[in-house]
Amino acid sequence: MARGATDGWIVRPRPNPGAALRLFCFPYAGAGAPIFRDWPAGLPETVEVCAVQLPGRGSRVRETPFTEVAPLLSALSDSLERDLEGPFALFGHSLGALLAFELARELRREFLPQPVRLFVSGCGAPQEPYLYPPIHTLPEAKFLAELQRWGGTPLEVLAHQELMQLLLPALRADFALRETYAYADEPPLDCPISAFGGLDDRWVSRESLDAWRAQTYAAFSLQLLPGDHFFLASSRPRLLAAIAETLAAHLAAAG
C-alpha cells in the first residue's frame, strides 16, 4: 500500500458528518491532533474540526515521520481527496501554517477543490527568509536545549528521558521540514487568507505576518492576540471566536 494511502491522517474530536464545512487543522512542530480536541466547543455546530495527524506521533507514533515537505504534501493530498467533496477551510499554526499553505497550492496543482479560506497562525509568510539557524541535526543535548528555548514543549516532558526518546524523531523531522523548506514562486491563492499573531511573539514579527497578503488575490486580514508564540493556547477563546465569525459569514453568504 502506498504511504499516502494509509488511514489515520485525520482525527475528528467530534464527528459531524452533516456539517456544512470542514476545518482541517495542522499542529505546530512536535505536536499532534490532540491540541485541537477542544476546538469543536468554540466553533459553530455547522463546522466539523478535522485535526491532521502526521506520522510519528500519537496513534501513528510507529510510522516514520516525513522530513521533506514535497513527499508529505503528496501523501496528504492523496489521503484527503475523498474528504474534499464539500466546502472546507485550512488552519495551521507555526509549521502547520506553512503546511496548510503548501497543501492549498498542492491541491491547486492537482486540480482538486480549493479551500474557502486559509487561516495562518504564528508563522511568517513563506516568501520571507527563515532567519534562524537549523537545529534538527544537533546532538541530542543541544537539540533539547533549543527546544526549551523555543518553548511549546513542557519542561516536565523535556525532563522525561523515556518519553523524549519516543518524541525526538518526530520533533527532529518537524524542524527538518521547516529548515529545509524552499519557497517556490507561484501565483497567489484565490481564497482569502486570515493571519493571526501573538503580541509578544519574539519569533514572528507583525511585518512577516502582514507579508501573507501577497499570497492571495482575495481578501486578507491580520489580527494580533495576547500571548507569545503559543497564543493559540493562551488566547484560544479569542482565536476561535475570530475563526467562527469568519466561517459563519462565509456560510451565510453561501446560503
Positions annotated as catalytic residues are 94
Using alpha carbons, select from 196, 194, 192 the residue that is nearest to residue 232: 196
Query: Which amino acid type is present at position 181?
Result: Y
Query: Which amino acid type is present at position 121?
Result: S
Using alpha carbons, select from 174, 225, 168, 178 the residue that is nearest to residue 201: 225
Contacts of 16 (CB under 8 A, 6+ apart): 40, 45, 47, 48
User: How far from 237 is each of 20, 106, 156, 160, 233, CA to CA, in Å?
Assistant: 22, 31, 26, 30, 9
In whole angstroms, give the CA distance from residue 50 to residue 67.
Answer: 23
Question: Residue 195 in contact with residue 223, Cβ under 8 Å?
Answer: yes
